[in-house]
């Protein structure tokens, strides 16, 4: 299922869960028809047929590349347990196979901790920490760590005060993390106050779009961030190379 985070008006992202099962579904006869269509030579006289053939060919080659890259990838890095580790391992496999993609996205759920937050957070952060640690180590092992930066963000924050179920409810502000060899480590923005609140919520000190602008302009080298974010936002100076 495609996340809203990677939705686009022009470019459709490649979305998959299990690489082995990623490909055109249907009966054997239907799959053979799609495969045959993708193998046909370009049609100069039938634009509609050429459009369909191009889509079929791209889908076939993309799915084959993903299946082969993930199947061939071998590593001793311990990504821990949980889906986030499995997903980051797939991403390293594709990077190691020289995928042309510049952005990879995965999600990691179960942080909606309305109940018993302390114990839940322990397991969740252990999973995240193990997975990110293995991800960076694996990238270093294959010589691609200098090419990758990891942005970690959440859809929503948590409120400051504990609720009656020993958890916290939906909040507004939350931290974001940038991880990578080129990152100038440290804290960017102002520390939020735990007492000066906005109706129980932490007050935002850095616009999240400034972080997106930082990744887009400073890391990816795309200057026209206004066309993406609808206005200009100050960047953070978070990378050594910029």
Over the stretch 22-77, which tens digit does the pLDDT of each residue have?
A: 876 677 787 777 667 666 666 666 777 777 777 777 777 888 999 999 999 999 99
CB 175 within 8 Å of CB 151: no
Query: Of all helices (H) and strands (E), which one includes residue 134?
Result: helix 117-141
User: Taking Cα atoms as reference points, which of 99, 98, 92 lies closest to residue 73?
Assistant: 92
Tally the C-alpha atoms within 13 A of residue 210's C-alpha that lie toward its C-beta: 13
Low-confidence ranges of the chain (pLDDT < 70): 1-2, 24-25, 34-35, 37-45
Domain locations along the chain:
1-72
What pLDDT is recorded for position 44? Answer: 66
Return the percentage of the chain with pLDDT > 90, whole number. 71
Neighbours of 127 (CB within 10 A): 19
């Amino acid at each position: 299922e495609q996340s809203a985070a990677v939705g686009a008006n022009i470019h459709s992202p490649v979305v998959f869960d299990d690489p082995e099962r990623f490909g055109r579904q249907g009966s054997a006869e239907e799959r053979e028809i799609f495969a045959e269509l993708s193998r046909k030579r370009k049609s100069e006289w039938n634009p509609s047929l050429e459009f369909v053939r191009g889509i079929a060919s791209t889908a076939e080659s993309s799915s084959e590349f993903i299946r082969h890259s993930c199947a061939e990838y071998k590593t001793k890095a311990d990504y821990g347990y949980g889906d986030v580790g499995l997903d980051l391992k797939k991403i390293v496999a594709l990077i190691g196979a020289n995928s042309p993609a510049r952005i990879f996205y995965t999600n990691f759920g179960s942080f909606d901790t309305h109940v018993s937050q302390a114990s839940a957070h322990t397991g969740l952060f252990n999973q995240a920490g193990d997975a990110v640690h293995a991800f960076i180590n694996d990238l270093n092992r294959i010589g691609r760590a200098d090419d990758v930066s990891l942005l970690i963000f959440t859809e929503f924050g948590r409120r400051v005060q504990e609720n009656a179920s020993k958890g916290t409810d939906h909040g507004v502000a939350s931290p974001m993390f940038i991880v990578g060899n080129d990152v100038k480590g440290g804290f960017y923005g102002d520390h939020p106050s735990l007492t000066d609140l906005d109706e129980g919520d932490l007050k935002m000190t850095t616009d999240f779009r400034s972080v997106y602008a930082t990744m887009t302009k400073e890391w990816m080298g795309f200057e026209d961030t206004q066309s993406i974010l609808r206005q200009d936002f100050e960047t953070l100076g978070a990378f050594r190379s910029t």
